[in-house]
Each structure stands twice: as C-alpha cells, then as structure tokens.
Amino acid sequence: MKIKKIFVLALSMAMLTGCTSSVIELGDDTDENNADNISQEENDNLNSSNSSDEKDSKADSESNSSVQDDNDDTLWDSPMAEYVPESPYSYYISFVNGEIATKSDDYYFSDYISGDYKFTCCDLSGDGIAELVLLTQEDDEEKLIVFTYDSDKGVISNSIACSFNSDCDYISKNGFVLLNSYEDESGNRYSGKTDDESYTQKISAILSTGSSKKGYSLFEWQRDAGSSEYDGPSENVYDQIMEMASDQVTLSEGEKPEDMIPYLEECEKSFEESIEEFKLFKQNGNGIFCNLGSAGLPDNEYEDADAAYEAFINNETTVRCEYGIKAYDTYFSYIYGEKYALSRWYDPDDSDTLETRYIDCGDDGSKELLISVTEELNYEPIESIYVISFYEGHLYLRFVTESSSRSYVSVGDDGCIYGGGSASDSVEIRDEAFLDSDIIFHYIYQLEMVSGEALKSYFPSVNDEPEELLTIYIYTIDGEEYYVPYYNFEEVTDEGEYTDFMKACEEQGISFSSQEDIDELIEE
C-alpha cells in the first residue's frame, strides 16, 4: 500500500500503517512494556525487503536496520531548521472569550461547553501545533471535543467530537487518542470495553486532521461479533500503541470559559520553546508515526548529493519529513519526523513502474532527485511524484503530487509545475507553479475555463441566463481574480460585443480583462 492511498482507503487500517494485517489475541493491560517491540527478524537490511509478500509489511520489517544517527540533543541541520510555525494560542484565547467561532459549524465556545469541563493543549495532529482538548459531560455521557487551528486559513475548526470513557480511553502525550467502542446487533454503539463476544469491539488510535469530527484512525483493531480474536495490525504494533497510550496528558479543571485563559497565556509564552522540544522529540524517533518502524530506518550521512540519491534509490537510506513539504493536488499525509524508504512507495511485485531523474529547481546548479511511481489504482494509472533534496549530508522530502488522466501534473527539469483537468464537461482547470532554488513551492496562477450553464454557479448574483457559446476564463493570481471572456472560442475585446450575461456581470461590479493584460501579469 502506497502512502498516497492513505485517505482513499482509510478503512484498510492494517495496510495503512505499514504493518501486516493479522489475527491476534490482545491483552488489556496498557502498562505491559514490550521492551523489544521490533523482532530480530524485522531488523533485516532494507535491501532484503523485496522478499516480503506485502509492501507495507516490508516497511515494517525495515525498522531497525543499518546505520542510524544516535538520539541526541542536536536538531537536524535541515532546510527548514529555523522555521517556527504560527502559534495558535491567541486564536484559542479569542475563541474561548467568544470573539470568534469555528469555521465549519459557526459555533462559539459557549455552544460547546455549558458546564464543568477539563482541558489541556497537546499536539494530536503530528505537526507540533497543539490542539485545544476538552472533556465535558453531556446527558451523563463523557464527551471529547478537540479544536485545531489552521494557520493557512486563519481559522479554528472542531476536529474531533466523540464519546469518551476515562476508564479505558487515553489522551496520549505521544500524539494521539486511544478510543474503545463496541456495537450491538442492532448497530447501537457504546463507548468503552466489553468482554461479551456478541458485540463487535473496536480499538482505535486516532489523530486530529481538521477535516472530520471523527478524527483520522491511524491504527485500528476489531473483534467481530462471535469471535474472540482481533483483526488488525500486528501484536508488536498493538503493544507499542498501548505503551504509548499509557503515558497520558494532564488535564486541568474549569467551570467557566475564562478559567482556562491563564493556562493558554502561559502556553503562548512558551510556544517557541515547545516547538523546539517537539522537533527534538520527533527527530529522535519518539511518539506515534504512520509507520512505527520509521525511527529504526537507516538515516545515513553522505558527503555529496550523488551518493545520497544513489543510496536512496538502492534502499540503503531514507528521506526525512519535516516542515515545508508541499502536497500539491494529493492527499499525501505524514507526521513530522517520519522517514521513508523507497520501498514504501515502490514495489515491482505490485506491477508498478519506477522512473528517476534529476531536476534543477530554480536553475541554481544544484540538482534534486525526482521519483515517479506509477501504478494501477481504481482501474486507471496513478503517477505519484516525489521531489527530494540533499542538505547537509541528509535527504529531505520537499514536494509530493500525483497525476492521472482526469487530473494531470507534470514537473519540468527546472522545477516548473503544470497541472490541469476537468471538473465537468463545462469546467476545465489549468495550473502553473514552480519550485524555487530553495525548493519552496510558489503558485503562479490557476485558470478555470467555465462555459454555458456552469457559469451560474460561479456568478450566483447574476440573474441572466448565460449564453451556450460563452466561456469565461477565471484566473486567480496572487489571491486576486481576473475574468477574460470568450465567445465561440474567440476573445471578446470590444464592449459593444458583450453578451447579455456579460452586461449583467458588469452591473454586479464584475469587470473583464484582456488576455494580453493577463499574460503580462503572469510573465511578471
């Protein structure tokens, strides 16, 4: 299973995690400590991975192989070493004070909390930016409510809202929530554990993604009704998750919203320090990862880029994941500090094709490695593209995208990126972007070519019917929209030739530009 399939096949948990699916008998004691969770057999060299039956089990078997950096107090000397993300705490304070609402629900803090509650802030998304975590009572049922801050959009969203049972559920310092639930024959679901084998029991390790109130289930085990055994990732993985889950966060108590303000203010003061601690924690292989064997993968140091790139292609070293990875038109997901070997992306036994080539982003003379892996997915070829850079002895993943017949993307030898596709018969999309010499992603423009009836949804304030032969090119450049009209495939440059729909657009304050002006703007 490739990483790019994670969100597409989110229910296939065993394949998701890079571990073999297995049937196991699980113990209930989270304090049991498996000191050697990775067996000697799983310590085989990366080059032996191709003998495994499943690609993701290969990545698990790679887990403590070859030479790796010892854990120490030195942060990676990486391309994004100086980067500090935006603090969420001023937004959390405004939210708790009732000054702003959540994006998706448009609810204020008082809409979520009406009585006593418990609270903390901890990272549950794998990026080091803490979520606001609350436990409250609702109709005699304990509820877990998690809020996350999206710095790109400047909004807060409710990322987890679910039942919680403090007797068996855990909010872990290692970056996830462990939830237990069971379901009866009628489909009624309950929070907690049961030994009654007539119920279906689930154990899930979930993350906060901001895209679903259910969170993202990274690992899951299920005991079906009538069975005494669990289906899911291996017992080694289960033991590691249980051990990490037992290291729980400390919750404070509040009665009124303002009770947590002093705590949030203290968090704000120590935010930069907490980010440095998080980086060191994850770079040393601690906490949860998509692939729990990631920490043990070889992370060798090389004198030059050629040797490092060749070693990665030969499965002798890994690429590091940190801040600054751009996922463009793809659902690629990672946790900060994760490491990937090529075998996580490519397996010749899966009828994949692998292409590698060097590109020079920004034409600065230093080369980057582009990895292209194509496979059959949902009855059509899907090409995954990864751009890797060499920096101070190590490799870093910097850019990820994917291309298909409906949504194509290409990366040129100079780092220029071209994309496009069709949203419908009446809407065609084109994009142009580039990676600069620091392998930082920059949008140049997005173009939506909208025709006929589809124009109604793009211009809802215009009441006139759009003409069938009318097409409006909608350019987005530096956050601004520009409109270029075409009729019967020819640009409309004379106002005297404007159609009724175009005139109605002007009455609504929508002005049209010429293609020549837009081309000059793009060139700039």
Q: Write the DSSP string, 295-343.
A: GGS-----SSHHHHHHHHHTTSS-EE--TT-EEESS-----TT-EE-GG
**CA 393, CA 396: separation in Å to the nearest integer?**
10
Residue position matching structure tokens 């600069």: 436
**CA 205, CA 199: separation in Å to the nearest integer?**
20
**Angle 345-317-404 from CA coordinates, rounded to 5°:** 20
Tell me the whole-structure pTM to 2 decimals: 0.80
Q: Are 132 and 147 in contact (CB under 8 A)?
A: yes
**CA 375, CA 131: separation in Å to the nearest integer?**
36
Q: What is the CA radius of gyration of the chain?
A: 26
- Contacts of 228 by beta carbon, 8 Å cutoff, 6+ apart: 25, 197
How far is the first Cα of the chain from the last one, in angstroms, to the nearest whole number?
42
Q: What is the per-residue pLDDT for 26?
A: 55
Average pLDDT of 268-287?
96
Q: Report how many helices (DSSP H) and strands (DSSP E) the chain contains, helices first.
A: 11, 26
**CA 214, CA 208: separation in Å to the nearest integer?**
8
Instruction: At 272, give phi and psi (nearest 5°).
Output: -60, -40
More confident residue, 70 or 382: 382
Position 433 pLDDT exceeds 80: yes
Position 31 pLDDT exceeds 80: no
**CA 256, CA 245: separation in Å to the nearest integer?**
29
In 3D space, the residue among 173, 178, 386, 398 whose CA is nearest the CA of residue 282 turns out to be 173
- β-strands 326-328, 394-403: how paired? parallel
Q: For 111-124, what is each residue's pLDDT tens digit? A: 999 889 999 999 99
Calculate the average pLDDT of the chain: 86
Question: pLDDT class for 101, splitting at 50, 70, 90?
Answer: very high
Q: Are 402 and 330 in contact (CB under 8 A)?
A: yes
Question: pLDDT class for 25, splitting at 50, 70, 90?
Answer: low
